[in-house]
Amino acid sequence: MAALNPFNPDDIDDDFAICPDGEGVAQAISSSIKEIDGVGQILNVEYQFLDGPLEGKHAFEGLFLSHTNPQVVEIAQRSLKRLCGAVGFAGVLTDSEALHFKPFRLKVGHRKDKKDVDRNTFAYTAVGAAGPATAATAGAPASTPWGKKAA
């Protein structure tokens, strides 16, 4: 038997748990690429909410850059394109750090996967935009991170 100092699991904030549903201004604060043997390569992105009911919360998204199933890569590429548009990135993305610390609106939901496990879903919108991020909203006039027009 191993004696532990008093440990209360309720005192521990599990940042890797599923993020509750909600929406607010967020930013990518870290990203890394991981090889998954026999499957492919995944880009893991960590988001942090800057305002709203989820302020301070973190959400984690995995986007497959390569996968044995091409449809999985297509889905990830569409998500990455929308994220680039929401943060105002244009051009060829060669380093995921180019997406870090650029505020955008993040909407988090959830769904059950094929194994009946809860997974987060993500939708990105440029700050101050009314609808989903598109090429038109990515080039919107300069604004502050909270959507007010810059003077």
pLDDT tens digits, 69-117:
999 999 999 999 999 999 999 999 999 999 999 999 999 999 998 899 8
Whether residue 74 lies inside any domain: the answer is yes
Q: Is the pLDDT of residue 147 over 50?
A: no
Whether residue 42 lies inside any domain: the answer is yes
Whether residue 146 lies inside any domain: the answer is no
β partners of residue 18: none
In whole angstroms, what separates CA 7 from the centre of its chain? 31
Whether residue 142 lies inside any domain: the answer is no
> What six digits make up the tokens of 9?
């699991």
Whether residue 150 lies inside any domain: the answer is no
Whether residue 139 lies inside any domain: the answer is no
Query: Which residue range(s) make up the domain with 93?
Result: 21-129
Whether residue 144 lies inside any domain: the answer is no
Phi-psi sector, 52: left (phi>0), alpha (psi -120 to 50), beta: left
pTM of the entire predicted model: 0.74
Residue ranges of alpha helices (H) inside the chain are: 70-87, 135-138
How many domains is the chain built from? 1
